[in-house]
Chains A and B, each alone.
Chain A
Amino acid sequence: DAEITQSPRHKITETGRQVTLACHQTWNHNNMFWYRQDLGHGLRLIHYSYGVQDTNKGEVSDGYSVSRSNTEDLPLTLESAASSQTSVYFCASSEIVAGANEQFFGPGTRLTVL
């Protein structure tokens, strides 16, 4: 069965360290997204990609970067982790952009920055 996985599921790091969160999907979807979810906020878009070599900034992209070298993977890098980046991070993918473009979500990564 097709799926979307994230690793690690939990991560504790220190302020200033570089951290990379992995996202891998086997849906063969062109569109991939990274969100963060914080209490009291809706999901907020960090970065997204509509295909290989395509990356775009979302609403809260400062301090984050992504790269898309193949269809399956969209790793998210925190350049220099800050306590404000403590959050739950979700990766998602979708087949199309418009219309009933259901997004399929990974299980999430809980990141704590101390």
Chain B
Amino acid sequence: GQNIDQPTEMTATEGAIVQINCTYQTSGFNGLFWYQQHAGEAPTFLSYNVLDGLEEKGRFSSFLSRSKGYSYLLLKELQMKDSASYLCAVLDSNYQLIWGAGTKLIIKP
């Protein structure tokens, strides 16, 4: 079956750095996405990786290793507004998005 694993919850301190991991086993791979979802709101797109390596976008970076079935989202200079759930999703061989259950990130002052 298809499976995406990410930690259920993480806690970090304002101004610090946090890394959210995602491992996947899917039928085919056509890219990996990270979305942010604030409580009670819709998911919004953060990043897309299809090749191995690091993609940097401001305070957020996303890394992919296809051989290891592994990705991480790195958030730097954490702000209170970064408190949200972070969803990892893989585009499979049928171009369907398979979603992880999300990681709830709690930022403490």
Contacts and interface: CB of A to CB of B under 8 A. Distances in A.
Nearest to B45: A102
A69 to B, nearest CB: 23
Contacts of B48: 100, 102
B96 A58 contact: yes
A103 B43 CA distance: 9
B100 to A, nearest CB: 5
Interface residues on A, range: 20 to 34
A103 B30 CA distance: 15
B101 interface: yes
Contacts of A43: 43, 87, 89, 97, 99
B42 A42 contact: no
Contact of B41 (A40, A42, A102, A107): A107
Interface in A93-114: 97-108
Interface string B71-90: 00000000000000001010
B86 to A, nearest CB: 12
A61 B33 CA distance: 23
A44 interface: yes
A41 B41 CA distance: 16
A61 B96 CA distance: 14
A108 B98 contact: no
B44 interface: yes
Interface string B93-108: 0011111111000000
In the complex, the 3 A-B pairs of residues with the closest C-beta atoms, listed nearest first: A42-B99, A105-B42, A43-B99
Interface of B: 4, 30-31, 33, 41-45, 48, 50, 87, 89, 91, 95-102
Interface of A: 40-45, 48, 58, 90, 97-108
